[in-house]
Amino acid sequence: MKKKLLAAVLAITLAVMPMLSVSASAKSGGLGDYITVTGYDPDVDYMTMMLRALKDGSAYAMQIGAIYEQQRNLKIEKLNMSYAKTTYFTDYTTAKEILAAIEAAKRPKPSYTEEDLDLLARIINAEAGCDWIPDWVQRMVGSVVLNRVKSKYFPNTIREVIYQPGQYGPVYNGMINYTPTKKAIENARYVLENGSTCPANVTGQNGVISGSGVYTSYYDSILGTTIYFCYT
């Protein structure tokens, strides 16, 4: 097994060495710290090679993967390709982190505006903004808004749902105007990018039980209040 691994490493090294140059001011560290790519093979799928290196995950494979990424970026630049250059091996330190970032990049970009994010964060902050309230509760508040947007019984936008007459108290008491916390913003972003965290027919959220029944609830032992998330 060790002989096969050594042979594979030698094959990779021989393949990339003619296209590399070593900086005279090299610093100690990984290969990517002091090797500059000077060429690429137009027939090589460098993303596939990067993924192979990441699957191996060893320190040496990670260094080779960093070189492949440089070659990929050079190929994109020289051939004027429509692919985006990447900096995975610069931005992250482990194979697990890079693989997660690559998978995240494949997902469709969420279709929401900065106003959507701001308004959702503000209503989350106003309804469940205390520092001690868990993330899942804040995300549930945001999820109810998203569920309403998709429901035929409510308006079709986040703004219209939040400002629908008689629905959200913070609109009337002014708390909607408070600057949301970082936590509220991040939880609003989470549901906008990942979708609702509760069933689609959970469209009720208030301090009393409503609708056809309770999906879940959160008792705030500090304030002595309960938030109910209810089915339509």
Which of 86, 106, 126 marks a domain boundary? Answer: 106
* 118, 102: one domain: no
What are the tens digits of pLDDT across the range 84-140? 999 999 999 899 999 999 998 887 777 899 999 999 999 999 999 999 999 999 999
CA-based nearest residue to 51, from 68, 75, 38, 73:
68
Q: How high is the pLDDT of residue 53?
A: 95
Rounded Cα–Cα distance for residues 79 and 100 (Å): 28
18 or 110, greater pLDDT:
110
Element (DSSP H or E) covering residue 225? strand 225-231
| Alpha carbon separation from 36 to 31, 46, 170 (Å, rounded) | 9, 16, 56
Handedness of CA 168, 170, 174, 176 (dihedral sign): negative
192 with 156, same domain: the answer is: yes
Domain co-membership, 121 together with 93: no
Q: Are residues 81 and 122 in the same domain?
A: no
Residue type, 182: K
pLDDT given at position 33? 58
User: What total of structural domains would you count in the chain?
Assistant: 2
Range of the domain at 185: 114-231
DSSP code at position 84? P
pLDDT computed for residue 16 by the predictor: 55
pTM: 0.59
Distance of CA 32 to the CA centre of its chain: 26
Please, is 180 exposed, middle or buried when counting C-beta atoms within 10 Å of its C-beta (0-12, 13-18, 19+)? Answer: buried
* pLDDT above 70 as % of the chain: 85
pLDDT the model gives residue 104:
85
Q: What pLDDT score was predicted for residue 108?
A: 78
Do 135 and 220 fall within a single domain? yes
Looking at the DSSP bridge assignments, the partners of residue 206 are 228
pLDDT class of 36 with cuts at 50, 70, 90: confident
- How many Cα atoms occupy the beta-carbon half-sphere of 25 within 13 Å? 0
Which tokens is 202 given?
């959970």
Q: Which of 85, 106, 127 is the last residue of a domain?
A: 106
pLDDT (mean) for 12-41: 58
- Residues 134 and 80 both lie in one domain: no
- Dihedrals phi, psi of 8, to nearest 5 degrees: -65, -40
User: Looking at the structure, do residues 39 and 96 belong to the same domain, yes or no?
Assistant: yes
Q: Which residue has the tokens 């060495």?
A: 17
- 2 confidence band (pLDDT: 50, 70, 90): very low
CA angle (17 as vertex; 11, 18 as ends), nearest 5: 115
- The pair phi, psi for residue 93, each rounded to 5°, is -115, -20
- The helix (H) or strand (E) run that includes residue 123 is helix 114-128
Q: Are residues 118 and 27 both part of a single domain?
A: no
Q: What's the CATH code of the domain at 155?
A: 1.10.10.2520
Q: 18: pLDDT confidence band, cut at 50, 70 and 90?
A: low
